Chains A and B, each alone.
Chain A
Amino acid sequence: MAGIKVHGSVFSTATQRVFASLYEKELEYELVPVDMKAGEHKKEAFLSLNPFGQVPVLEHGDQKLFESRAITQYIAQEFPDKGTQLTCPGKPIAPLLVWKEVEALQFDPPSSKLNWELVYKPMFGMTTDPAAVEENEAKLAKILDVYEARLSQSKYLACDSFTLVDLHHLPNINLLLGTPVKKLFDARPHVSAWAADITSRPAWAKVLALLKH
């Protein structure tokens, strides 16, 4: 089997998304660290892998891919019989397609902005903007209301088993639960139970372990 390489950073939420899928699938991979502090991701060598200058990039044999959610989809399809089934086999594909978009286009923007304000800015010695926090908390609250209704009818977002859809939320939820935004999750019983369930998966614990080195 051709080797898998991941170009990225253990601190990048998008790269963590890919690590999570590789651990769920029990696949070996080699991490090629990209030094983002030194601007490595904007230099020629890296731009030839991802012209957008963003991490992660996956190499599998001759195949190169960027965009974390395209990478996880590729991994799920390329290795259907290994590790966790990350799609909903034997079930209609449609809910998976829909809820993948919901995470990417509805959940991700406000949660990324909140993580930027509440987690990264303090780390870089910058000041949190309370108006931005308020605006994005309000947006996220509306989205979590929809999730609460959905998760009262379905054990996981796309169907009754854990899929890529739930996995894609892990990096941002992991950070959010360490901020005051946790209250939005605590206030919604089904969302809260789902978040606790997915963040306690062994594959996710392995991703978190990478951060400890």
Chain B
Amino acid sequence: MATPVKVYGPPLSTAVCRVVACLLEKDVEFQLISLNMAKGDHKKPDFLKIQPFGQVPAFQDEKISLFESRAICRYVCENYPEKGNKGLFGTNPLAKASIDQWLEAEGQSFNPPSSALVFQLALAPRMNIKQDEGVIKQNEEKLAKVLDVYEKRLGESRFLAGDEFSLADLSHLPNAHYLVNATDRGEILTSRDNVGRWWGEISNRDSWKKVVDMQKQQHSP
């Protein structure tokens, strides 16, 4: 039996969850090694060897260590093509290009404003950091424009890249989950018909429900 792959990082980190969701979709056994970022585990020399930017997650299997959550997800799909959800990154070059395009769009257009909002609305209060109303407003407007594009796209297509759930949809789960469940701005997603329908579908996948359970266990004594 193959050794489980290792993922380093706290279960509450959005980028860590992106990787965990992908591993669950692909049915790849993994071990989550939590890091205490409050204690600076992620800036220690041993960790910097596998992640020179001192961020989470990092990933290791028998062959290699990797960082950047979307690179890890692509690698998992390429390296385990026959496991779990075989179509997660497409089963032919054209499907893959289409998924890649929307995965890039997620990283470039959806991620920046949604991350900023998650930080300002969900994390800053918990860390006793003052919220910046200007930043909140600016990123709400940016995100609204992006979601207008998604609304149109998802009226023509069941999922972002086509008729099947893909890595492109999966990549949105962590930030969208926080927006809907940990802030009062969730309706930015749920009030748009097609985006709301899509969010309902992707957040109900077994793999994502398992990630949410894993996060909840962090809070129990």
Q: Which of B74, B75, B104, B152 contacts A51 (CB 8 A)?
A: B152
Residue contact A52 to B100, C-beta cutoff 8 Å: no
Residue contact A92 to B105, C-beta cutoff 8 Å: no
Residue contact A70 to B100, C-beta cutoff 8 Å: yes
Across the interface, which residues of A come within 8 angstroms of B112, CB to CB?
A: 109
Residue contact A73 to B97, C-beta cutoff 8 Å: yes
Is A211 at the interface (CB under 8 A from chain B)? no
A52 to B63, CA, bound (A): 38
Is A65 at the interface (CB under 8 A from chain B)? yes
Contacts of A38-69 to chain B: CB distance below 8 A: 51-52, 63, 65-67, 69
Across the interface, which residues of B come within 8 angstroms of A78, CB to CB?
A: 93
B86 to chain A, nearest CB (A): 18
Across the interface, which residues of A come within 8 angstroms of B107, CB to CB?
A: 101, 104-105
Residue contact B71 to A67, C-beta cutoff 8 Å: no
**CB-based A-B contact count at 8 angstroms:** 72
Across the interface, which residues of B come within 8 angstroms of A27, CB to CB?
A: none
Do most interface residues of chain A lie in helix, strand or loop, or is the interface mixed?
helix
With A51-B149, A104-B108, A146-B53 known as contacts, the answer to whether A97 contacts B75 (CB < 8 A) is: yes
Q: Which of A70, A100, A101, A106 contacts B97 (CB 8 A)?
A: A70
With A52-B109, A69-B104, A94-B75 known as contacts, the answer to whether A150 contacts B67 (CB < 8 A) is: no
Contacts of A63-119 to chain B: CB distance below 8 A: 63, 65-67, 69-70, 73-74, 77-78, 92-95, 97-98, 100-102, 104-106, 109
Residue contact B104 to A106, C-beta cutoff 8 Å: no
Is A149 at the interface (CB under 8 A from chain B)? yes
A74 to B70, CA, bound (A): 17
Across the interface, which residues of B come within 8 angstroms of A149, CB to CB?
A: 52
Residue contact B71 to A70, C-beta cutoff 8 Å: no
Across the interface, which residues of A come within 8 angstroms of B53, CB to CB?
A: 102, 106, 143, 146
Residue contact B152 to A74, C-beta cutoff 8 Å: no
Residue contact A98 to B68, C-beta cutoff 8 Å: yes
**Considering the complex of A and B, which 6 residue pairs feature the smallest CB-CB distances, nearest first?**
A101-B68, A67-B104, A97-B71, A70-B101, A70-B100, A101-B71
Can you report 30 residue pairs joining A to B where beta carbons are below 8 Å apart? Answer: A51-B149, A52-B105, A52-B109, A52-B146, A63-B97, A65-B98, A67-B101, A70-B100, A70-B101, A70-B103, A70-B104, A73-B97, A74-B97, A77-B93, A77-B97, A92-B63, A92-B64, A93-B78, A94-B63, A94-B75, A97-B68, A97-B74, A98-B67, A100-B71, A101-B71, A102-B68, A105-B68, A105-B107, A106-B53, A146-B52
